[in-house]
C-alpha cells in the first residue's frame, strides 16, 4: 500500500527527520511509552480546539466526527458547493493526505487553517516570524488544494492561543536577507519526507533537544553510542555533525585528528563553524576518549564567599504561562553547612496566585541582606523580568537587575559550566551533571516536563501527595545545583 505524506509527518520532520524514519520503519518493540507531558499537550490541544469551535460565532459545517473515506467524500461535496467554512475535513491528492482543522472559502477557492494551543508566531517581539512546523503543515494543505484546482492562493492561517488569526504568506521571502519563502521551506520538507518514505538515502539519529521527550530515545541513544556518533559531544548537534561528516565521522576520528588540516587562514574548511568552536569540540572529543575521563576546568573558578548561599530554581507551566513555584535552598557554610529548603508555592494557576507567590519570593530574598544566589541557566532571570513587568507593584525593573547582578548571582550554566569547564557527558543539563557527580533525585522520573503534568494534576485534584511530589522535585533540583557548585569547587 502506498505510504502517504501527512501533515503530522512534516511536523515531526522539522524537529527530527529520523523520527519519521523510526515511526515508519522502526522496530515497534523498541518504542517507549509516550511521555506524560506530550500526552498533556495533546489533551490540552484537543480541549482548546473544542473550546474555540464551541465559541465560534460563524456558521460552519462540522465534519470532525467522521473518519476515513467518508470524511474525505463529504469534504469534497462541501467544497464543490463552496461551503463558506468547513471544520474537521479531509483532503487528498496524489501521495498527500491532509486533515486541516479549517477550510475557508475566499471568493474563488479555499485557504486552509489550523487551530493551535500555542502562539501563532515565534521569536522576539520586534522580529516575530511564522513557525516552520506550523508552516509545513499549512503548505501541505495548500499543495493538495492546488492539485485539486480549488486553492484561493498560497496562504493559510493559524487561530492561536491568544485568540488571534495569524496569516501565513507562502509567497513573500522571509526576512530582508533571506530569499527563502515558506513555500520553499515546505517544498524542501516534502522532498525530504518523500525520500524517507521511499527509503532512499536513509536518515541518522542525532542527539539533541527533541530527544528529551521522544519515545525512540533509548533506541536512538543505543545506535548513537554504537556508532560513536559525533552528536554525543555536547553542543555539536545534527547540523554541525552533517557539516563535518564528509571529513570526520566519529568522536574517535575527531579526537585523533590534527586540526591544522581543517584550517584555511583565519577560518575552518567547514562552513559556519569557526576555529574556536572546532577547537572546543575537538577538546571535548579528546576528553571523552581518555582512558579515565574526568571533568576539568579550563580556567580557575572562584565563587564569592558568603555566610549564606541560596540555590534557586523556578517551576513554570508554559501551557498557562504561569510561574507556580519559586524554590530556595539555603546553605550556611559557617554553620556546619546547615541546609533549609524554602518553597514559595502558588495555590492555583490564577494571576492572583502567581502575583502572591512572586511577592512572597521577593520578600524572602529581601529579608536577607547578604547572600550569593546560584541558578542554572538564564531561565530564572528571564522569568523574573517577565513577572516584574506583569506585577510592577512587587518590585521595580532595576531591583530585579540588581538581584541578578553577576557579582552575587551566578548563572552556573552560562557563566561557569559552558565557559570554564568540560565534562565527559553527552550534555550539560543539571540532571546529567549532578547525576554524574553521584546525586540522585528522590523521584524515579524527574523532569521539568513531568513536573508540569503533576501541577496540572494537582490543580484538577488538589491531591496533597501530588503537591509534595512537585516540592520534592524542586527541592532536589535546588540541591543538585548545590552539588554541582561543590563539584566545581573540588575541581578547583
Task: State the minimum distance, in angstroms, from the CB of residue 25 to ligand SF4.
Answer: 12
Tell me if residue 5 falls in helix, strand or coil.
Answer: strand
| Rounded least distance, CB 231 to ligand SF4, Å | 8
Report long-range pairs for 188-195 (Cβ below 8 Å, ≥24 apart).
Answer: 189/10, 189/13, 189/14, 189/136, 189/139, 190/5, 190/10, 190/136, 190/139, 190/140, 190/143, 192/13, 192/17, 193/5, 193/9, 193/10, 193/13, 193/20, 194/5, 194/95
Q: Are 88 and 62 in contact (CB under 8 A)?
A: yes
Phi first, then psi, for residue 307 (nearest 5°) are -75, -20
> What residues line the site for ligand SF4 (CB under 6 A)?
16, 18-19, 22, 205-206, 210-211, 214, 216-217, 220
Nearer to ligand SF4, 32 or 70 (CB): 32
Q: What angle do CA 122, 123, 128 make, to 5 degrees?
A: 75
45 or 210: CB nearest ligand SF4: 210
Q: Which is nearer to ligand SF4, 78 or 193 (CB)?
A: 193
Smallest gap from Cβ 3 to ligand SF4, in A, equals: 18
Nearer to ligand SF4, 144 or 211 (CB): 211
In the bound complex, what is the minimum distance in angstroms from residue 16's beta carbon to ligand SF4? Answer: 3
Report in angstroms how near the CB of residue 216 gets to ligand SF4 at its nearest. Answer: 4
Contacts of 429 by beta carbon, 8 Å cutoff, 6+ apart? none
- The residue among 427, 237, 408 whose CA lies nearest residue 309 is 408
- The CB-of-444 to ligand SF4 minimum distance in angstroms stands at 21
Closest to ligand SF4 by CB, 136 vs 301, is 136
Supply the minimum distance, in Å, between the C-beta of residue 41 and ligand SF4: 16
Vertex 89 angle, CA 88 and 92, to 5°: 140
State the DSSP code for 230: G
Q: 369 Cβ partners below 8 Å, 6+ apart?
A: none
- Round to whole Å and give the CA distance between 327 and 314: 6
Beta carbon nearer to ligand SF4, 223 or 277: 223
Could you tell me the smallest distance in angstroms from the CB atom of residue 182 to ligand SF4?
23
Is the Cβ of residue 210 or residue 349 nearer to ligand SF4 in the bound state?
Answer: 210
CA distance 195 to 200: 5
457/451 Cα distance (integer angstroms): 10
Q: Between residues 18 and 326, which has the closer beta carbon with respect to ligand SF4?
A: 18
Whole-number Å distance between alpha carbons of 367 and 253? 55
* Minimum CB distance to ligand SF4 smaller for 229 or for 411: 229
**C-beta closer to ligand SF4: residue 6 or 414:** 6
CB-based contact 85:105 (threshold 8 Å): yes
- In whole angstroms, the minimum distance from the beta carbon of 388 to ligand SF4 comes to 36
Beta bridge partners of 440: none
- Minimum CB distance to ligand SF4, residue 461 (Å): 32
Amino acid at each position: 500500500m502506498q505510504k502517504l505524506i501527512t501533515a503530522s509527518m512534516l511536523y515531526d520532520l522539522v524537529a527530527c527527520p529520523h523520527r519519521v524514519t523510526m515511526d515508519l520503519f522502526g522496530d515497534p518493540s523498541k518504542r517507549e511509552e509516550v511521555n506524560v507531558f506530550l500526552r498533556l499537550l495533546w489533551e490540552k490541544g484537543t480541549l482548546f480546539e473544542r473550546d474555540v469551535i464551541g465559541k465560534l460565532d460563524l456558521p460552519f459545517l462540522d465534519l470532525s466526527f467522521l473518519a476515513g473515506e467518508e470524511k474525505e467524500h463529504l469534504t469534497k461535496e462541501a467544497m464543490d458547493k463552496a461551503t463558506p467554512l468547513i471544520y474537521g475535513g479531509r483532503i487528498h491528492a496524489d501521495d498527500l493526505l491532509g486533515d486541516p482543522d479549517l477550510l475557508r472559502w475566499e471568493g474563488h477557492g479555499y485557504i486552509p487553517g489550523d487551530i493551535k494551543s500555542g502562539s501563532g508566531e515565534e521569536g522576539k517581539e520586534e522580529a516575530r516570524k511564522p513557525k516552520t512546523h506550523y508552516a509545513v503543515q499549512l503548505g501541505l494543505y495548500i499543495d493538495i488544494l492546488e492539485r485539486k484546482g480549488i486553492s484561493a492562493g498560497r496562504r493559510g492561517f493559524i487561530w492561536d492561543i491568544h485568540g488571534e488569526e495569524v496569516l501565513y504568506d507562502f509567497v513573500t521571502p522571509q526576512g530582508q536577507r533571506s530569499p527563502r519563502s515558506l513555500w520553499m521551506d515546505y517544498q524542501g520538507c516534502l522532498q525530504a519526507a518523500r525520500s524517507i518514505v521511499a527509503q532512499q538515502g536513509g536518515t541518522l539519529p542525532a542527539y539533541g533537544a527533541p530527544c528529551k521527550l521522544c519515545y525512540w530515545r533509548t533506541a536512538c541513544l543505543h545506535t548513537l553510542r554504537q556508532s560513536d556518533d559525533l552528536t554525543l559531544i555536547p553542543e555539536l548537534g545534527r547540523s554541525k555533525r552533517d557539516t563535518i561528516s564528509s571529513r570526520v565521522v566519529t568522536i574517535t576520528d575527531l579526537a585523533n585528528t590534527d586540526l591544522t588540516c581543517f584550517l584555511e587562514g583565519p577560518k575552518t574548511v567547514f562552513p559556519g563553524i569557526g576555529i574556536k568552536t572546532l577547537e572546543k569540540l575537538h577538546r571535548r572529543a579528546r576528553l571523552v576518549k581518555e582512558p579515565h575521563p574526568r571533568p576539568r576546568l579550563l580556567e580557575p573558578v572562584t565563587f564569592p564567599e558568603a555566610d549564606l548561599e541560596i540555590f534557586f530554581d523556578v517551576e513554570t507551566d508554559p501551557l498557562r504561562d504561569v510561574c507556580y513555584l519559586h524554590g530556595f535552598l539555603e546553605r550556611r557554610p559557617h554553620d556546619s553547612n546547615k541546609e533549609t529548603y524554602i518553597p514559595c508555592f502558588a495555590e492555583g494557576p490564577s494571576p492572583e496566585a502567581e502575583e502572591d507567590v512572586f511577592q512572597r519570593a521577593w520578600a524572602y530574598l529581601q529579608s536577607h541582606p547578604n547572600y550569593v544566589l546560584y541558578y542554572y541557566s538564564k531561565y530564572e532571570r528571564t522569568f523574573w523580568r517577565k513577572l516584574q513587568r506583569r506585577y510592577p507593584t512587587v518590585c521595580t525593573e532595576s531591583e530585579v537587575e540588581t538581584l541578578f547582578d553577576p557579582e552575587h548571582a551566578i548563572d552556573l550554566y552560562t557563566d561557569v559550566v559552558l565557559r570554564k569547564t568540560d565534562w565527559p557527558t553527552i550534555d550539560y543539563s543539571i540532571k546529567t551533571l549532578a547525576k554524574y557527580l553521584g546525586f540522585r533525585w528522590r523521584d524515579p522520573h524527574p523532569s521539568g516536563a513531568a513536573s508540569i503534568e503533576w501541577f496540572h494534576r494537582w490543580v484538577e485534584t488538589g491531591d496533597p501527595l501530588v503537591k509534595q511530589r512537585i516540592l520534592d522535585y524542586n527541592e532536589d533540583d535546588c540541591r543538585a545545583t548545590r552539588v554541582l557548585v561543590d563539584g566545581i569547587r573540588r575541581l578547583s
